[in-house]
């Protein structure tokens, strides 16, 4: 059953010239930053923070934030800076960091200190997530994608040890060496903030999350891939000697709710603001540079789905390039009035059985009043109903 519902937005910078991106064939990494306006960013930040604060006041259990680099998709190049603002701006609700891009950091202890600091400032409201990042972030940070997984694993282990074992102690690893590990700032939550692992169906990430007993948060995959995700999770959990429950499962879905189905359907097209998808397009070698993915990941159902899309030369980190109707049919986008959205979300809950549901409730050039109306309808009518709903497997 759904226990907690979070709100998510990419904080997209939608003010760049679309025609330039269409002409170049990409809108990230090498897209010239001369098209960035700090004045427009200031305006957008004000709008986004107002919406996130409103979510925590009207009925959401928290807000989810993330991090991307060199990309107008996201105005959050530092998840910890955004989280620190929310720690003081909001008075209640969880702040879900999904998540810090560990492999691009040369000093994971800085991440440990910053998350601990924000946990203290917020009164223990942080949910900590760790991610490998997408391939272009390895390129942008000049870190070798071949070592992405190794750096992720070692950085995670160092952070957890720094949070849970008294210092000072020494760390001598393959990628990180510290003569003194003794952070003064420690998390308020003990032994450390809850850790969730978000992902787009990489089998290694699902396996890793299951071995660590961390909830795996599936980021808006087609519903027919969900069984692939959690069958693998359950199999690995059994090998580790435990039986996972709904609290090991989370699901993020793009949602637009309005006063009528027709209006919500039109407003939902804002999720397709970047060249046909919510994430935009990029050359394949930017998103998956050599060494970034293992052979198993390349052969997964998610990767196979990408290969068969109409957008073969390009890939999208958020999924295959589906048209708007196909995205609705596979529940990657859910729109409608509150009753319609509740009915569609029930179908997701029946299949996934997530304790944590993330509603990706605004994107791109969506107007502020439209986003606020969506937030209010979700909080007032959809969230209470979905929390009361008992999935079919429990009846």
- In percent, the amount of the chain with pLDDT more than 90 equals 73
The mean per-residue pLDDT over the stretch 39-64 comes to 98
Rounded CA gap, 248 and 306, in Å? Answer: 27
The per-residue pLDDT for 297 is 66
* Higher-pLDDT residue of 314, 151: 151
The per-residue pLDDT for 291 is 85
Rounded CA gap, 114 and 103, in Å? Answer: 16
Angle made by CA atoms 386, 387, 391, in degrees to the nearest 5: 70
The mean per-residue pLDDT over the stretch 90-99 comes to 97
* Higher-pLDDT residue of 96, 364: 96
Lowest mean pLDDT: which of 237-241, 247-251, 318-322?
318-322
pLDDT bucket at 276, cuts 50 / 70 / 90 = low
Query: pTM for the complete prediction?
Result: 0.92
With beta carbons less than 8 A apart as the criterion, state whether 126 and 115 touch: yes
- In percent, the amount of the chain with pLDDT more than 70 equals 91
* Higher-pLDDT residue of 276, 338: 338
The mean per-residue pLDDT over the stretch 314-328 comes to 63
Residue pLDDT, tens place only, 30-48: 999 999 999 999 999 999 9
* Higher-pLDDT residue of 250, 321: 250
The per-residue pLDDT for 36 is 96
pLDDT bucket at 26, cuts 50 / 70 / 90 = confident
Second-level CATH architecture of 4-394: Alpha-Beta Barrel (3.20)
Residue pLDDT, tens place only, 282-316: 788 888 888 887 766 666 655 555 444 433 334 34
The per-residue pLDDT for 75 is 95
Hey, which bits of the chain come out as E strands?
4-9, 62-65, 94-101, 126-131, 169-172, 177-181, 195-199, 216-219, 249-257, 282-283, 314-315, 333-336, 356-362
The per-residue pLDDT for 312 is 35
Domains of the chain, by residue range, sit at 4-394
With beta carbons less than 8 A apart as the criterion, state whether 321 and 276 touch: yes
């Amino acid at each position: 059953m759904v226990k907690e519902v979070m709100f998510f937005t990419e904080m997209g910078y939608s003010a760049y010239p679309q025609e330039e991106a269409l002409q170049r064939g990409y809108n990230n990494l090498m897209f010239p930053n001369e098209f960035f306006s700090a004045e427009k960013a200031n305006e957008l930040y004000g709008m986004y923070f107002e919406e996130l604060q409103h979510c925590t006041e009207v009925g959401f259990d928290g807000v989810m934030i993330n991090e991307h680099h060199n990309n107008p998709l996201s105005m959050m190049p530092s998840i910890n800076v955004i989280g620190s603002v929310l720690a003081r701006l909001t008075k209640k609700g969880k702040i879900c960091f999904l998540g810090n891009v560990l492999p691009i950091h040369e000093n994971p202890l800085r991440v440990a200190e910053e998350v601990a600091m924000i946990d203290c400032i917020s009164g223990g409201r942080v949910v900590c997530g760790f991610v490998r990042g997408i391939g272009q972030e390895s390129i942008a940070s000049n870190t070798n994608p071949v070592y992405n997984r190794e750096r992720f694993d070692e950085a995670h282990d160092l952070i957890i040890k720094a949070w849970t074992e008294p210092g000072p102690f020494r760390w001598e690893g393959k990628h990180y060496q510290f003569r003194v590990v003794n952070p003064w700032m420690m998390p308020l939550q003990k032994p450390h903030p809850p850790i969730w692992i978000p992902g787009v169906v990489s089998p290694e990430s699902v396996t890793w999350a299951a071995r660590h007993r961390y909830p795996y948060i599936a980021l808006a995959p087609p519903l027919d891939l969900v069984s692939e995700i959690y069958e693998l999770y359950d199999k690995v959990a059994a090998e580790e000697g435990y039986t996972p429950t709904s609290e090991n499962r989370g699901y993020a879905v793009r949602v637009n709710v309005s006063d009528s189905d027709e209006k919500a359907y039109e407003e939902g097209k804002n999720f397709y603001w970047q060249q046909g998808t919510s994430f935009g397009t990029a050359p394949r070698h930017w998103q998956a540079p050599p060494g970034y993915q293992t052979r198993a990941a390349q052969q997964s159902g998610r990767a196979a789905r990408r290969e068969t899309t109409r957008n073969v030369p390009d890939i999208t980190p958020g999924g295959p390039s589906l048209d708007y109707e196909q995205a609705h049919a596979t529940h990657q986008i859910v729109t409608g009035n509150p009753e319609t959205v509740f009915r569609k979300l029930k179908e997701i809950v029946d299949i996934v059985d997530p304790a944590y549901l993330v509603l990706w409730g605004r994107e791109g050039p969506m107007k502020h009043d439209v986003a606020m109306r969506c937030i209010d309808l979700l909080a007032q009518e959809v969230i209470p109903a979905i929390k009361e709903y008992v999935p079919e497997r429990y009846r």
